[in-house]
């Protein structure tokens, strides 16, 4: 990874990934791209890019002399359910374009899959790396197809494709927007702003989660991993914790004792959550490239509340 082009660079993962990559590989060596312009000044090169425009993606990658592409642009689960055809075109069209750019320029390639790639018939507890994948959402269908496509580009064309299945990602920098696990981000904002939160996910619904610093480190570690050790290459299960809404509320109450939690379940996002695993098994990632998460629920809550308080005060 010497010259990296990132799509979806203003999204939830992208906006922090860019800063991490720039601090490790040099600001001038990381090209951020997105369909919209950044609000303020940028910390390095930026280009507008619609990922459904494969020609422009290739031109930008060539002009920049990129040797690595990180394809982050995608519509999340709840948004994809609202507009499945658009989701298919964006998620699959963007991925195909990015894989084609990687093939044409023989680049290293990263894209995230998700716990959304699993479905109701997948074992719910300690979900294995290799298991049944029959998702019932458009997002899940996109993610399974994406995992297979990345494997295909590796086997057929020898492209160095790598990827993880991310759980819900929690961060104080950029809001996720359109996901099922978003409640676990919203709750921290509302805890600080209003001292209470109404969860759209029902009590007792377990989902895997991870704090953003662990997610970013996982991306870098996987991309830097010795390829001869990678048996799976794509779609490694990674997770740091699994909790249900009342547990994150209890964690917040340790810092904000008066915090109140209520429930008003959104049937669409609840159905998506019900179709996903309770907790997945990350042992293949641990064994093949040393995956490690540093934050558990309480450590994340403490850091998240402290950083978010500062951010909200400044805005």
Alpha helices in 126-230 (DSSP H): 138-157, 183-193, 212-224
Q: Using CB under 6 A, which of the segments 42-50, 92-100, 166-174, 198-206 binds ligand AKB?
A: 166-174
Residue from 146, 168, 245, 282 in contact with ligand AKB (CB under 6 A): 168
Q: Closer to ligand AKB at the Cβ: 139 or 154?
A: 139
CA distance 95 to 148: 12
Those residues with Cβ within 8 angstroms of residue 257's Cβ, 6 or more apart along the chain or in another chain: none
Q: Report the DSSP pairing between strands 207-211 and 161-162.
A: unpaired
CB of 76 to ligand AKB, least distance (A): 4
Q: Closer to ligand AKB at the Cβ: 21 or 280?
A: 280
Residue 281 in 3-state DSSP?
A: coil
Within 10 angstroms of residue 48's Cβ, the number of other Cβ atoms is 12
CB of 211 to ligand AKB, least distance (A): 13
Q: What is the pattern of x (binds ligand AKB, CB under 6 A) and - over residues 34-73?
A: ----------------------------------------
Q: Using CB under 6 A, which of the segments 144-152, 174-182, 187-195, 196-204 binds ligand AKB?
A: 174-182
Q: Is 183 a catalytic residue?
A: no
Q: Report the DSSP pairing between strands 260-263 and 196-199.
A: parallel
Contact set for ligand AKB, span 209-268 (CB under 6 A): none
Q: Using CB under 6 A, which of the segments 48-56, 108-116, 224-232, 277-285 binds ligand AKB?
A: 108-116
Residue from 29, 68, 77, 199 in contact with ligand AKB (CB under 6 A): 77
Q: Is the dihedral of CA 123, 129, 133, 137 positive or negative?
A: positive
CB of 302 to ligand AKB, least distance (A): 22
Task: Indicate the helix (H) or strand (E) that contains 170.
Answer: strand 168-170
Q: Closer to ligand AKB at the Cβ: 54 or 178?
A: 178
CA angle (135, 148, 75) in 5-degree steps = 55
Which of 25, 139, 152, 263 is an active site residue?
139
Q: Please tell me what DSSP assigns to residue 122.
A: S
Contact set for ligand AKB, span 118-147 (CB under 6 A): 139
Q: Is 282 in the site for ligand AKB (CB under 6 A)?
A: no
CB of 87 to ligand AKB, least distance (A): 11
Tokens found for residue 135? 């998702």
**253 near 191, Cβ under 8 Å?**
no
φ and ψ of 34, to 5 deg: -160, 165
CB of 136 to ligand AKB, least distance (A): 14
Burial status of residue 101 (CB atoms within 10 A of its CB: 0-12, 13-18, 19 or more): buried
CB of 39 to ligand AKB, least distance (A): 23
Tokens found for residue 231? 């048996």
From the list 277, 261, 222, 243, the residue with the least C-alpha distance to 109 is 222
Number of residues interacting with ligand AKB: please give it, by CB under 6 A: 13
Q: Closer to ligand AKB at the Cβ: 13 or 107?
A: 13
Instruction: Show which residues are catalytic.
Output: 139
Residues that bind ligand AKB (CB under 6 A): 76-77, 114-116, 139, 166-168, 176, 179-181
């Amino acid at each position: 990874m010497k010259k990296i082009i990132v799509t979806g660079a203003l999204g939830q993962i992208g906006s922090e990934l860019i800063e991490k990559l720039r601090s490790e590989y040099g600001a001038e060596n990381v090209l951020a791209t997105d369909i919209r312009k950044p609000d303020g000044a940028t910390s390095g090169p930026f280009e507008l890019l619609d990922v459904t425009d494969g020609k422009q993606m290739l031109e930008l990658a060539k002009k920049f002399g990129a040797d690595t592409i990180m394809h982050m642009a995608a519509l999340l689960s709840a948004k994809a359910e609202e507009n499945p055809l658009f989701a298919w075109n964006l998620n699959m069209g963007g991925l195909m374009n990015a894989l084609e750019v990687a093939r044409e320029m023989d680049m290293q390639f990263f894209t995230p899959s998700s716990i959304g790639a699993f479905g109701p018939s997948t074992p719910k507890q300690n979900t294995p790396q290799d298991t049944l994948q029959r998702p019932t959402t458009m997002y899940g269908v996109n993610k399974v197809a994406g995992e297979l496509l990345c494997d295909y580009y590796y086997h057929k064309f020898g492209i160095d494709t790598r990827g993880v299945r991310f759980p819900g990602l929690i961060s104080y920098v950029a809001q996720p927007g359109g996901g099922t696990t978003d409640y676990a981000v919203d709750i921290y904002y509302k805890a600080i702003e209003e001292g209470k939160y109404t969860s759209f996910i029902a009590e007792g619904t377990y989902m895997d989660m991870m704090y953003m610093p662990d997610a970013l480190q996982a991306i870098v570690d996987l991309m830097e991993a010795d390829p001869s050790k990678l048996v799976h290459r794509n779609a490694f299960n990674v997770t740091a914790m699994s909790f249900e809404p009342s547990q994150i509320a209890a964690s917040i109450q340790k810092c904000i004792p008066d915090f109140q939690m209520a429930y008003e379940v959104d049937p669409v996002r609840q159905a998506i959550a019900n179709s996903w695993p309770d907790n997945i098994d990350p042992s293949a990632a641990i064994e093949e490239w040393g995956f490690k998460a540093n934050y558990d629920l309480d450590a994340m809550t403490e850091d998240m509340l402290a950083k978010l308080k500062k951010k909200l005060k400044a805005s």
